[in-house]
Structure 1
């Protein structure tokens, strides 16, 4: 999946992502797909694609949960008629690189209090939070009972105060930072291997 050179460094393609986008547009022309989108792109990268696109960007898939609400990016996508898809809406508690000290939205006491008030689980509240914001949600589970539970999120509404309280948990924390790819020229969260805040 990730080819490496003789020094163990990941070998990256030298194809620019705008060229990849143009190739994807041909698939739309040929009727092989109806729409195309982006994943893990920052705002500047989306702008760069949009500047050369014949087929508009339809969706942007990014990490998004109460600890990373992506408010600016949500507003930006709304202004560009791009649908945002939130992955890791529960904070990716099963990610292989998680550390014991990492923040965990599913266990946040504010989320727990709101869940109890609605007779729902914290996971159901976190999924509904994103849906109520107008986002598409990708919630991963391998447990049949939890998969069923994740669908039972449309029979309640969060109040404006509850939405504000959950939004207020934001700490711009990324659980899926992709640090092992930080030296890539177009890494959305790093520049020349250094973390940058210019990733909104």
Structure 2
């Protein structure tokens, strides 16, 4: 207590305990219900040190779940941020939950385990907590379509789990039909389906279906079009939307926090992305208030089934999910 008081008085960084509660997955492993996302960092031209710093800041702020992927190109920096936090004594590796993903050009069964080993090498970890098939779509090295069935890919994922390289396995961007087929024809049910969910893409049928099957849903692009966009035609809600502002004022929160809490109330695991230290902390400060059912329903009315992450270039590929 004295050290905490001194940190506050002296203006030093306060290291917080784990802030997000954990949800039990269908395999018994427990997943923190908010994750720091890292995908936009590299895509947006963010410097490597910013990724490393963001991961450390997130862990200091109470995050215990970090989400990355092979295609993001930042696994090494994510691993460095994790190593920094462990070295500083903030957490142990066992207290963290690390998610990464298999890219589309590694869908052949024999490539899955080697791909995960490469990710682990970049992360400088012995295992990840969750390994996801990033898309049901398979591509060749030249990005042309490949006709590999995701059931074959899943067999490789099951092998990775058996080898102890990952504690849990799951999928990302799978639609309801693909989920049902995978569940019916696999030994191991996916623990997670990570998909885009936000106020303009509520995905209520898919989310409910996965949850009814005991499959947790992680929500990427959780803010939708809330964040600043150059496109003036982007649909509401924006950060200054009157409906969200009223809720934010009621609870003493930001509109971004209202949207994240909305997803949590629906049983989802949001994956907010930021390299701003203050916003990183805000994005997990979500567990001292609850929205009413009426407020949840009101936010859901923004739904337009409109995606932030659109992949029309894959539309004619086998197993395109959208």
Q: Distance in 2 between matches of 1:60 and 1:21?
A: 13
One of 304, 311, 315 as aligned partner of 1:171: 304
Q: Distance in 2 between matches of 1:104 and 1:19?
A: 40
Matched, 1:111 2:244: yes
Residue 283 (structure 2) aligns with: 150
Residue 102 (structure 1) aligns with: 234
Shift, 1:85, TM fit:
0.5
One of 236, 246, 254 as aligned partner of 1:121: 254
Any unmatched runs of 5+ in structure 1?
Answer: 190-200
Q: Secondary structure at the match of 1:105?
A: coil
Count of matched residue pairs: 185
Shift, 1:166, TM fit:
0.9
Change (3 A) 1:95 1:125: closer
Deviates more, 1:31-40 or 1:82-91: 31-40
CA RMSD of aligned residues (A): 2.4
Residue 153 (structure 2) aligns with: 20
Q: Distance in 2 between matches of 1:26 and 1:32?
A: 9
Any unmatched runs of 5+ in structure 2?
Answer: 1-70, 72-103, 106-138
Residue 272 (structure 2) aligns with: 139
Deviates more, 1:178-187 or 1:82-91: 178-187
Asked which structure has the greater CA Rg, the reply is 2
Q: Distance in 2 between matches of 1:81 and 1:95?
A: 35
Q: Distance in 1 between matches of 2:268 and 2:194?
A: 10
Q: Secondary structure at the match of 2:145?
A: coil
Residue 215 (structure 2) aligns with: 82
Length-normalised TM-score, structure 2: 0.53
Shift, 1:78, TM fit:
1.5
